Amino acid sequence: MRSNQKKILSLFSLACLLVLSGCATQGDLDTVQRDTNNMTKELLGLQRNIYDLSAEVKDVSGKMGALEKKTGELQRQVSTLNGEVKSKVGLLEKEMETSSQPMRRYQADLGARMDKLQLDVQNLTGRFEESKYFAEKTLGATKNSQTRLEELEKRVAALQKNLEGGEKKGEPQAGEGKPPAEKGENERSPVMIPAPTEPSKETPPSKKAEEKPQKPVSGPDEAYKKAYEKYTKGDVEGARTDFRRFLEVYPKSKYSENAHFWLGESYFAGKKYEEAILEYDEVIKKYPKGNKVADALFRQGMAFLEMKDTTNAKLILREVVRRFPQSDQANRARKKLKEIG
C-alpha cells in the first residue's frame, strides 16, 4: 500500500514539475491522470481488503477466545479424570497385591506339577523302550515257536505215513474188529490227515493217492458247519480236529479265515495260548482286510494276558484301538486296558 502511495506522489510531483516547466503536453497530462485514477482505484480496493481482513481477524479472535474457554474446561476435566484414574489405579494395585498371593501359590503348584509330568514322561519313555524290547523278544520267540511247530508237523506227518504203512501190512479181515487206524486216531498230532479208506484187494492205491487228503462228500459248506456246531456244543477237541482238517482240504475256501479264527478259539478254550496266538496271527497276516482281524487282534491280546505277559497284551490291545477305533473290539480293549492299568 505504501509503495502505491509513493507511486501516486511521484506521479503527482512529476505532473507538477511538467506543468511548472511548461514542457508537458496534454497527452502527458492525460496519461498521468489515468495512472492517478488507476492508482486511486487500487488504493480504494486495498482499503476494502484491509477492512475485510480486520473483520476476519476480529472473528478469529472471537473463536480463539471460545477455544481458550473450551481448552480450560477440558484441562479441568482432564485434571479431574487424572485424580480419578490415580485413585482407581491405587485401588487396583492393592487388589492385585491381595490377589497375587494365590496366583503365586498356583504358579508354584503348577511348576511342581510340570516337574512331576516331566518325570512321568521320562518314566513312560523308559517303559516304552522296555516294552519295545520285550515285544521284539516275544516276536522272535513266536517265530521260533512257529518254526518248531512246523518241524513238529513234518515229523508227525512222517510218523503218520509210517503208521499208515504199518496198518496196511497188518490190516485185518472184515469182522475181525477195529482197524489199528481207528485205535490210534486220537493220538495223532493236530495235523489232521483223514484216515485212508480201505483199499480194494484187486487194485491197491498208490502212495501218492494215500498221502493226499480226501475231500468230504459233503463239501466245504457242510464241513465248516459241522466243525462250528461241535465248537458251539462244547466239543472243543472235535471242533479243533475238524477245523484243521477243513483248512488242509479247503485252504482257499471262503470260510478259511473263520476256520483259522475258531481254531485259535479252540486252542484258547484248551488254555493252549501260544498255539492260539499263532492261529490268530494267521488271520491277521493272511486276511488283513477280512472281517475277523479285529477279533483276532483282541483275542491275541487276551491270550498274552492269560500268559501273564501284560506288556505285549497292552501293545496289542492299543493296536486294536488304533486300527479299529469305532469297533466293539476297540471298546472292549479300552475297558481291559483300564483294568490292567
% of the chain exceeding 70 in pLDDT: 63
Residue 274: CATH number of its domain: 1.25.40.10
- Helix 273-286 / helix 256-269 crossing angle, nearest 10 deg: 160
Q: What is the mean pLDDT of residues 26-39?
A: 81
Q: Among 21-25, 64-68, 167-171, where is mean pLDDT lowest? A: 167-171
* The pLDDT of residue 64: 87
Give one DSSP letter per residue of 169-236, joined into a string. HTPPPTTS---HHHHTGGGS-SS--PPPPPPPSSSPPPHHHHHSPPPPTT-HHHHHHHHHHHHHTT-H
pLDDT category, 119, cuts 50, 70, 90?
low
Q: Which domain holds residue 164?
A: 126-169
Q: Are residues 235 and 316 in the same domain?
A: yes
Q: Which cell goes with 276?
A: 492260539
Q: Are residues 275 and 340 in the same domain?
A: yes
Q: Are residues 153 and 270 in the same domain?
A: no
Q: Which cell goes with 131?
A: 516294552
Output the CA torsion 26→28→31→35 (10° steps).
-130
Q: Are residues 326 and 225 in the same domain?
A: yes
Residue 143 domain-assigned (yes or no)? yes
Q: Are residues 159 and 46 in the same domain?
A: no
User: What's the structural domain count of the chain?
Assistant: 3
Q: Are residues 330 and 226 in the same domain?
A: yes
* The pLDDT of residue 43: 86
Residue 88 domain-assigned (yes or no)? no
Largest CA distance in the chain: 187
Give pLDDT tens digits for 232-271. 999 999 999 999 999 999 999 999 999 999 999 999 999 9
CA atoms of 73 and 62, how far apart (whole Å): 17
* The pLDDT of residue 251: 94
Residue 314 domain-assigned (yes or no)? yes
